[in-house]
Every structure is written in structure tokens, then in C-alpha cells.
Amino acid sequence: MRLRVLFLCFAISLPAVAAPLAVPDQGPALRIQGSNTIGAALGPALVKGLMEHQGLQGVHSEPGDGANEQRVVGKTRQGKIVTIAVAAHGSSTGFAALKNNRADLAAASRPIKDSELIDLESLGDLKSPDAEQVIAIDGLAIILNPRNPLNTLNTEQLAQIFNGEVSTWEALGGIGGAIHVYARDDQSGTYDTFKELVLSRRGKPLAGTAQRFESSEALSDAVSHDPQGIGFIGLPYVRQAKAVAIVDGDSQPMLPLTSLIATEDYPLSRRLFFYLPPSRNPWAKALVDFTQGSKGQAIVAANGFIAQQVQAIGVAPRPSMPDDYQALARDAQRLTVNFRFEEGSASLDNKARQDLQRVVAYIRSHGKLDKQVTLVGFGDAKNDPQRAALLSKLRAMAVRRELVKSGVVPRDIRGFGAQMPVAANTADEGRIKNRRVEVWVY
């Protein structure tokens, strides 16, 4: 799929001047614990951005008390030291730290589990829209040597390759003999992402023969120089290697394009979260608000993740698309937002609630409030195709109701049922991804 991206971006804006926050007399102003994917670099970068937004001077990072821990330090104009502590020991540790009052904010590279939600009931509802905050989208590229003729792999093949079950390129219809597997080390958030999205979902460990790398650049360069190599990498590090298109279930092959990761259609994408207990630390609330704003999302993008910005993209019609969808692609442009829903519900999930504000602001700023928007619903496969089509249209109607509240009058709503899946329907995660609503503008 070839997408023409028009860089018409919108992110929720912050006031130009932040109201100053109170500084505690002792101890850190804010304690963040959890995901290594967030805490290694993105979290500290967002903290620095907030502190500078607050007018603090000399903002810098220092090593913390233990491994994978750091402190971000700044000074008020009155000379008072402000410290924010960031510990990156894994998503589960963030929720445990909230329970034990060792953290004010949990960083997670996965949604909170039901067991954790129950365990933390005393702090309030951590699944509420204010508490569960999607701050970025993470995506991985699967890379080969540029001379490797393969252009597409599916997620099941990836699990078998990186587990060692499939050990030759010939077994995949290619050439080159033995497959050489390259992977990031165990401390890497990139490895955590790959393990979660590919290996763990199929109950497979990484092959013991995999060559491990601390450096993303070194891994990418090694694959680009090895005709038999394959690896996974964050988007900014493809370099001279060749990224392949990924298929999940009956989805179309998808390259790791920023636009496809932003909509979460690309199979190797996932959400990154902050979990904010209600009525706790004002610095925690300020960090969440800063992160969701335009300055925070610019920091997200600068750190190699996908920012939650609304862009208009042109989609090239393909013969595999339904005729009505091809006509839409010829006449309109798609926004880089997919609205998704709570599991087993027609209610928008928390990311969708955040995205509503972004989409409305985009539509308003581009003068498209009156019948310039079409909503397109999709769903997972049902025994009855007519039921799938009806449910997909009902999802689009649910989004229309929310947009109308903000003064947007859609031109049309359409339901395409289980057509054009973006994920396998064999697991809950795939079915949830397939239940989506696209936004198209004229």
C-alpha cells in the first residue's frame, strides 16, 4: 500500500505559560516507575520537557540509586532544587510500586491486567479515561539484507524463525541457506516489544543461537552486511537494511510506515501508557497533560516513537478493496486515527476518547465541520456476515454521535463488516484491532 502523507498535523495544545507547581520541601516531586521501553529514554525526555515548560533552569539527568534508574534535576528561579525520579524495571513493577506507595505514576508498555486493576482498587479506577493515558504508539520493523528476495513474512513465520523452528530461507520459499537470527539484548525495550507481540503470544522463547546486540545501530548494520540475516529494530534504525511487509492472519501485507503504526493497523505496533491514580500528585497530572500536548508529542516523535498527531493521507485504491472503499479512496483522504472500542462493547476505548479531541480540532481547523467527513466501520468475523456488517455500521454510528456533540456533521457512515481485516481473528487482541472506525475527509 502506497500512502501519500500530507503533513497537516494536530496535537492537543498546551497553554504557552504553565502554572507553576508546588515544590516539596524534601524528596522527589514525582516518582515514576515501570516500563523499560518508556523509562530508558522517553520518560526522562518528557520529564525534562515538563520541567523546562515549568521554567526550571539547568535541567539535566543524573544516575539513580540502582540500575535502570535516573533522576531528572532542575532548579527554580529562587534556587530551589526539584527532582523527579524515574525507575525502569518493567511494566509490572510500576503497578506494584503504585500499590506500595513507591511511585506516583506507572509507565507501562501494555494495558493494565484485570488482576492489577482489582489489586489497586483502593487508588480509584485505573481504567477510567483520566487514569489510563495512551502516550505513544510503538512499532517495530523486521529487517533483512537488501539482497534477500523475500518481501513479505507473516507473524507465525516470524515466531518460528526467531524461535529456531524454521532455520533455512528455503523453508520460506527464499534462497540463501541457514537463517542467521539477530536480536536486541534482554535489557532492550525493543526486545520486550518483539517478545510480547510475536514470541510470547505463541508461547515460544527466542532461539538460544540468536546473536544479541546492545546497540540498535550495530544490529541493523550487521543484518545489512549478512545475506542470511534477519532482525527486528525500532523504526529509526532500519538504516541500510531492508524492511519487509508483515501479514497477520488475513490482513494485507503492511510495511512499517508511520501512518500505519499511528492507526495501529500495522501488526507490530502497540500502545505505551501512563497510569495516573486519581487525585494524587499534581506533578503527575502535569506530566500527563504535557505529554498529551503538542510539545510532549513532539518529544515522543523525537525519541523514535509514533506521536498521536492527526494527518491526512491519500490511500491508493487496490483491486482487493471493496468497490465502495476504492471510490472513497479516490475521492477523499484518510486521517491517521482509528477509533477502537472497549472489549465486548460499543463504547469508545480511552485512546479513542483522547483522539476525539484531536480529530475535532483537526476538522474544525480545516473547515470541514459540515458534511466533509465520512466514517467507515469494520469488525471481526461473525457466523453471519450481515450481523458483522450491521455491527460495523453501529460502531461508526457511535463515533458519529460523539462528533455531532462537538459540532461535526458527517456526510456519511458506512459499514464494511469483516472485510479488510488488519489482524488475525484467532485471538482477542486481533478481534479488538479489527473492530475499528476510520475517518475520511473531503
18 confidence band (pLDDT: 50, 70, 90): low
Q: Contact at 8 Å (CB) between 328 and 440? A: yes
- Residues 254-294 have pLDDT tens digits of 999 999 999 999 999 989 999 999 867 999 999 999 999 99
Instruction: Please name the fold of domain 310-441.
Output: 60s Ribosomal Protein L30; Chain: A; (3.30.1330)
Q: Specify whether the CB–CB gap between 281 and 99 falls below 8 A.
A: no
Residue 77 CA to residue 166 CA, distance in Å, equals 61
In order of 89, 117, 129, 246, 289, the CA distances from 98 in angstroms are 14, 11, 18, 37, 20
Could you tell me the pTM of the whole model?
0.85
In three-state secondary structure terms, 339 is strand
Mean pLDDT for the stretch of residues 323-330: 97
Q: Where are the domains of the chain?
A: 10-131+276-302, 138-258, 310-441
Residue 51 pLDDT > 50, yes or no?
Answer: yes
Q: Which fold has domain 10-131+276-302?
A: D-Maltodextrin-Binding Protein; domain 2 (3.40.190)
Confidence check: pLDDT of 9 > 70? no
CATH class of 138-258: alpha beta
**pLDDT tens, residue by residue, 179-216:** 999 999 887 778 888 998 899 989 999 999 999 998 88
Grid cell locating 144: 533483512
Question: pLDDT tens-digit profile of 58-91?
Answer: 999 999 999 889 999 999 999 999 999 999 998 9
Percentage of the chain exceeding pLDDT 70: 95
pLDDT of residue 382: 77
pLDDT tens by residue, 161-174: 999 999 999 999 98
Task: Tell me the average pLDDT of the chain.
Answer: 92
Q: Is 214 exposed, middle or buried (0-12, 13-18, 19+ CB in 10 A)?
A: exposed
The pLDDT of residue 17 is: 47
**Which residues contact residue 261 at a Cβ distance below 8 angstroms, ignoring those fewer than 6 apart?**
137, 139, 235, 269, 306
CA distance 209 to 326: 46
**Which triple of cell numbers denotes residue 259?**
501512518
Question: In the predicted model, is pLDDT for residue 1 greater than 50?
Answer: no
Cell of 104: 506516583
Whether 312 has a pLDDT exceeding 90, the answer reads: yes
Is the pLDDT at 7 greater than 80? The verdict is no
**Grid coordinates standing for 421?**
481485516
Evaluate whether 10-131+276-302 and 138-258 have a shared fold: yes
Tens digit of pLDDT for each residue in 364-391? 999 999 999 999 999 988 778 888 889 9
